[in-house]
Amino acid sequence: MSPAFILKNGRIFDGRSFLSPGFSIVVRPPHILAITPHPPSHLPSINLQGKVIAPGFIDLQVNGGGGKYTSLEPSEKSFRQILNSHLREGTTSMLLTIITSADETRRQAISSMQTIMEKNQSLLAGAHLEGPFLNPSKKGAHHEPWLQLPTPDLLKQVSEEGGDTIKVITVSPELFTSGNLDILLDTDWVLSAGHTTASYESAVSFFDHGGLMATHLFNTMPSLKGREPGIVTAIFEHQGAKAGIIADGHHVHPAAIRLAQKVMGDRLFLVSDATFLGQKDGEVHFGPATFRMKDGICYNQDGKLAGSSISMSRAVQYCITKAGISETDALRMATYTPASILKATDHIGNLRKGVLANMVVLGETWEIEKVYYEGEPVE
């Protein structure tokens, strides 16, 4: 464990707002010891020269990275490569996403994640199960033969398999009865609506019944119409609904990101939905499917978008420099709000005494300049 040190002369974003100038962060790995205008004089210090320092980013939807894919190579070694590829880009906590897969792939992925999580590290916060209970007409890049209808027996089986490892599950609300939803609610997982044709009324009922979230807002769901307000309007209106959004310049128009943020405020958060972080252009073979990367954008054989190739840091940068989101809102969308969904703000997603020293230093153009994971610099 490294000795204690001080970060001084930075613009400190604590997860919800910027602190007044003059504060320093005292770190004793793995935690923050204090945030104070009067740091101890005997400790070594690092001068941030006015750069922004913020909590490490939190991503609730990571499909892959570094040439590895959660649902294709469900091994501990593969998962560590994915985790490290995102850590270098400033994501210090994440959910690895298990998309619609063969049953054995899902079980292997959960088992591998449990092995990593038993080491009590904050980098892997758990799993996001995206499928198999999705509407085939909104399957996106999911492999249709693996989609399944939610029966009580199957839901109980998946619930037992997932245990404490799964934190979020994406489902199509229109496929569920209230009784079947109750089986999932008993797990304490976050229920998220996605890949759905849900009407406004069906979506409101889902959120009233305990659904907390929506998966990649605007994508694989009906668009808002005057006489058919649909799930998007329900997400906007329902104060219990939060939503992730992919800010990569391709999945969602910047004006739609601005509108969603203006309407939802701190209920909106960023996800990368990254599958191909670091992937070069060309063909990508993903299980039974072949995708094509071009200019950093991935398409399936039907020409539909299939995951992204961005990191959370790129999403934050895009929101600030291209989408017109304030720096405070953009940073909160990548830190405190996703941490609150995980009920983890006691140790991640903000900067204060006692939390893990997961931090990013951002330059003038909002590029990542330094990453600290549990107080240790990441190379």
pLDDT in tens, 15-50: 999 999 999 999 999 999 999 999 999 999 999 999
Predicted confidence band of residue 358 (pLDDT cuts 50, 70, 90): very high
Indicate whether 185 and 65 sit together in one domain.
yes
- Any domain includes 347: no
d(CA 125, CA 255): 31
Q: Is the pLDDT of residue 300 over 80?
A: no
Residue 286 has pLDDT above 70, yes or no: no
Asked whether residue 132 falls in the same domain as residue 233, the answer is: yes
CATH code assigned at 254: 3.20.20.140
Tell me if 128 is assigned to some domain: yes
In angstroms, the CA 172 to CA 136 distance is: 10
CA-CA distance, 180 to 357, in Å (whole number)? 40
pLDDT of residue 304: 72
**Of the candidate ranges 40-54, 90-104, 265-279, 296-310, the one whose mean pLDDT is the lowest:** 296-310
Residue 232: count other Cβ atoms within 10 Å of its Cβ.
22
Query: In terms of pLDDT, which residue wins out, 300 or 260?
Result: 260
Q: 21-25, 142-146, 219-223, 345-349: lowest mean pLDDT where? A: 142-146
Position 278 confidence tier, pLDDT thresholds 50, 70, 90 = low
Q: How far is CA 203 from CA 34, 69, 214, 233, 234, in A?
A: 43, 31, 10, 9, 6
The 3-state secondary structure of 9-26 reads CCEEECCCCECCCCCEEE
In the chain, the amino acid numbered 279 is: Q
Which residue type, as a one-letter code, is found at position 323?
A: A
pTM of the model: 0.95
- Active site annotation includes 59: no
Does a structural domain hold residue 222? yes
pLDDT for the residue numbered 147: 93
Q: What is the DSSP letter of 308?
A: B
Return the bridge partners of 25, or none. 7, 35
40 and 81 fall within a common domain: no
pLDDT band at residue 287, thresholds of 50, 70 and 90? low
Is 8 within 8 Å of 48 (Cβ atoms)?
yes
Any idea which residue has 């203006």 for tokens?
Answer: 262
- What is the model's pLDDT at position 350? 98
Distance CA 201, CA 58 (A): 31
30 and 120 fall within a common domain: no
| 316 neighbors 57 (Cβ within 8 angstroms) | yes
The span from the CA of 379 to the CA of 377, in Å, is: 6
Cα separation of 279 and 288, whole Å? 19
Question: Could you tell me which of 242, 274, 81 has the C-alpha nearest to residue 168?
Answer: 242
The confidence score (pLDDT) of residue 379 equals: 86
DSSP SS3 for 278: coil
pLDDT category at 296 given cuts 50, 70, 90 is: low
CATH number at residue 40: 2.30.40.10
Regarding whether 309 and 172 lie in a shared domain, the answer is yes
What pLDDT was estimated at residue 295? Answer: 67
305 and 194 within one domain: yes
Q: Known binder of ligand: residue 195?
A: yes
Distance CA 301, CA 291 (A): 6
Q: Choose the catalytic residue: 273, 295, 302, 329.
A: 273
Element at 46 (helix H, strand E) = strand 45-47
Is residue 346, in this structure, part of any structural domain at all? no
Q: Is 86 annotated as a binding residue?
A: no
Q: What is the pLDDT of residue 265?
A: 98
147 & 66 share domain: yes
Examine the pLDDT at 299 and tell me if it is beyond 80.
no
3-state DSSP assignment of residue 360: strand
Structure token pair of residue 62? 């990571």
Quick check: 303 pLDDT over 90?
no
The answer to whether residue 104 scores a pLDDT higher than 70 is yes
Residue 44's domain comprises 5-54+352-377
Asked if residue 137 and residue 23 are part of one domain, the reply reads no
If one counts the domains in the chain, the total is 2
Alpha-helical segments (H) within 118-198: 152-162, 178-185
Of residues 7 and 249, more confidently modeled: 7
Regarding whether 232 and 140 lie in a shared domain, the answer is yes
Nearest alpha-carbon partner for 297 in 330, 275, 269, 321: 275
- Torsion angle in degrees (nearest 10) through CA of 206, 210, 216, 219: 0
Return the pLDDT at 47: 98
Question: Which of 34, 54, 46 is closest to 9 using CA atoms?
Answer: 46
The answer to whether residue 288 scores a pLDDT higher than 80 is no
Task: Please tell me whether residues 183 and 270 are part of one structural domain.
Answer: yes
Mark whether 201 and 226 lie in a shared domain.
yes
Judgement on whether residues 93 and 18 belong to the same structural domain of the protein: no
Cα angle, residue 197 at apex, residues 192 and 202 outer, rounded to 5°: 70
Q: Please calculate the CA angle 217-196-74 and round it to the nearest 5 degrees.
A: 80
Helix (H, G, I), strand (E, B) or coil at 329: helix
CA angle 213, 179, 338 (to 5 degrees): 15
How far apart are alpha carbons 64 and 48 in whole angstroms? 32
Whole-number pLDDT of residue 309: 76
Q: Which residue has the higher pLDDT, 209 or 285?
A: 209
The CA distance from 86 to 100, in Å, is 22
Average pLDDT over residues 116-120: 87
The two tokens of residue 86 are 């995102």
Q: Is 216 annotated as a binding residue?
A: yes
Residue 285's pLDDT is: 66
